[in-house]
Chains A and B, each alone.
Chain A
Amino acid sequence: MDSRSSELAVGPAREDALPASAATAVKIVVVGGFGVGKTTLVGSVSEIRPLTTEETMTEVSVGVDDVRGVEQKSATTVAMDFGRISINEELVLYLFGTPGQQRFWFLWTGLFEGALGAVVLVDTRRLESSFDVIGRLEDGGVPFIVAVNVFPDAPTHPLDEVRTALDLPASVPIVACDARSRGSSRDTLLALMRYLYTLSTQSAAAPVAASAATE
């Protein structure tokens, strides 16, 4: 009896259920190294306690990993924490935190497909770990902003210095963020949305600008 009931997976608590009218969902990806505060940021703005989904590493990824000698492989499963924000009665926003290290890029294919954009969360004490991530997002054509998580014990750097250190194009926004704060995390997401909005209105106007330039 007991063992039978423990097999039955329980869904969300009633208060965590979406309205029946929820019709579409969009996603934003928060990417960064271990301990940079991805789950903290997600948890700060999520209306549900962050949940964890996992994916199994493909054999190809394991092979690449072994060649690189990054880590002894015992675990073949990678967890991603995520949260949820109901935008309105029909629209739901999901936030996924994903590790930035190259050996986890196998997760990214389905994750970034259809995503609105990404927040690259960085720790100024470990900036070098963000180079690969930024390069990969640029190559993949994923729009992103950079958020510098402000740790109490980390030296503060002017954002311009971080931009230079990351070799970030002038067009990509960079903001300071306190991932523990709901307001600051929300503002970080809004900064991404404003950037995307600018891109969307620019791309709509682009054909006109192009034809004007040729005249």
Chain B
Amino acid sequence: MTPSPINDASSSWEQGGPERLYVITGGRGAAGRRADLDLVTLVVARAAARPEMQPEHASILRMCHYPLSMAEISAYLKLPFSVVAILVSDLLAESSVEVRAAVRTAGIPDPELLKAVMYGLQKL
């Protein structure tokens, strides 16, 4: 059997081609995205996934039963960080998730924070 054009289209769709990303975000660029989301912002679901939701939104709610970083969500969804940031911004707007802000140090980090990290690393 020769692969049909439909199959070809669906394989590029699966691989996260530009068309798929455009559809997932509704064509929104950075305008749909909260500026304070970082790769290590932790996301926690505050509502259950609903059947009428976009599948990506529902997936985020399911996997964030426990705190999960934006980077991990991006990895499990196989979507770029910029797309995940838009999806999480949507969920924030409807209060379905809560975010725990990354520590954003301006310049040199706080010595107490550094001590805590050192202590944790020494236990490895």
Residues on A lying within 8 angstroms of B by beta carbon are 7-12, 17-20, 22-27, 45, 51-56, 77, 82, 84-88, 91-94, 96, 110-111, 113-114, 116-117, 141, 143, 182, 186, 189-190, 193-194, 196-197, 199-201, 203-204
Contact = CB atoms under 8 A, between A and B. Distances in A.
Contacts of A56: 21, 80, 82
Contact of A27 (B40, B107, B108, B118): B40
Interface in B53-101: 55-56, 58-59, 62-69, 71-72, 74-78, 80-82, 100-101
B1 interface: no
B55 A23 contact: no
Given A17-B65, A85-B121, 15 more contacts: A7-B55, A9-B78, A17-B66, A20-B66, A24-B42, A26-B103, A53-B39, A54-B80, A87-B117, A87-B119, A87-B120, A88-B119, A93-B120, A94-B69, A196-B108
A199 B114 CA distance: 11
Contacts of A111: 39
A203 B107 CA distance: 10
Contacts of A8: 55, 58-59, 62
B108 A200 contact: yes
Nearest to B100: A23
A143 B61 CA distance: 36
17 contacts: A11-B59, A11-B76, A22-B66, A22-B67, A24-B101, A25-B103, A26-B109, A51-B76, A55-B82, A56-B21, A85-B124, A96-B39, A114-B104, A117-B109, A182-B124, A193-B121, A201-B111
Contact of B71 (A24, A94, A189, A190): A94
B110 interface: yes
B9 interface: no
User: Chain A: interface secondary structure?
Assistant: mixed
Contacts of A86: 120
Given A20-B67, A26-B102, A82-B71, A114 B38 contact: yes
B111 to A, nearest CB: 4
B11 interface: no
Contacts of A27: 39-40, 102
Contacts of A94: 39-40, 69, 71
A82 B70 CA distance: 12
A116 B122 CA distance: 17
Interface centre among A11, A18, A23 (most CB of B within 10 A): A11
B50 interface: no
B121 A9 contact: no
A10 B76 contact: yes
A200 B49 CA distance: 44
Contacts of A23: 42, 67, 100
Contact of B114 (A25, A110, A116): A116
B100 A24 contact: yes
A197 B71 contact: no
Contacts of B39: 27, 53, 82, 94, 96, 110-111
